[in-house]
Chains A and B, each alone.
Chain A
Amino acid sequence: MNEQRRQILQLLAEGRITADEADSLIDALERDQPKAPPGAAPRSKSRPRYLRVVVNSLDEFDDGPSRINVRVPLQLLRAGVRLTTLIPPQALAKVNTELGRVGVPIDLNELKPQHVEDLIDQLGDVDVDIDDPSATVRVYCE
């Protein structure tokens, strides 16, 4: 309970204002409270640290079910992305040429580390859940 609300209730308890007046004062107080911006994340939500990939499949052969459980720190993804800045421009030009030749017209020179880092920052909201009768796949951040 904040201080202003407490003062209003105190005035009501002392009989200096009526219940209706206290109600209208509290309403006015709530209207004046700054609201959180719509895009803002709740403060209590902690920032994800790991990317998890969990695959469970019922094997069609005699070996039994398969299970894959991978946990990768997001920091490791960031470090890996930064390593790409070391690729020399002439190598990037060759890669671009080869990509264009096989029908993937992606210019890697346009792929800035900042963009990829922004992408990784937004990975926290990713939750891929595939539920198949023979297998389940889940990719999420925790």
Chain B
Amino acid sequence: MIPQVVTARWRRSDGRWRRLFVPVLPVALLLSPLLLLAVFGGMIACLATRVSPLGALRGVGRVLWALPGTRFEIDDGRMAVLVSVR
């Protein structure tokens, strides 16, 4: 399953939390022209370095598909960051 929502939380200097919810699919659709350019750039880079472009695409897809469930939480004194992929 591809990631649906990426949640980022961080604590501001006044102690209050800020939250940012990023819906992956709508944002990917919005940035699709840039993503397309990035894919083309990646394919050219693959051909230049003699790496199979299809293999690279498959590998990146596998990484994306495996992302849901990832969670990073760092709380260090006044600084705190949480990134969660669902």
Contact A68 B59 (CB under 8 A): no
Give A72's nearest chain B residue, CB to CB.
B70
Determine the main DSSP class of B at the interface with A: mixed
Determine the main DSSP class of A at the interface with B: mixed
Q: Total interface residues on A, using CB and 8 Å?
A: 29
**If A71-B69, A71-B70 touch, does A83 touch B49 (CB 8 Å cutoff)?**
no
B interface, size bucket: 20 to 34
Contact A83 B59 (CB under 8 A): yes
B25 interface contact, C-beta 8 A: no
Docked Cα-Cα span, A28 to B59, in Å, equals 56
Contact flags B43-86 to A (C-beta < 8 A → 1, else 0): 00000011110011001101101111111111111100000000
Docked Cα-Cα span, A66 to B62, in Å, equals 33
Docked Cα-Cα span, A64 to B65, in Å, equals 37
Docked Cα-Cα span, A79 to B61, in Å, equals 9
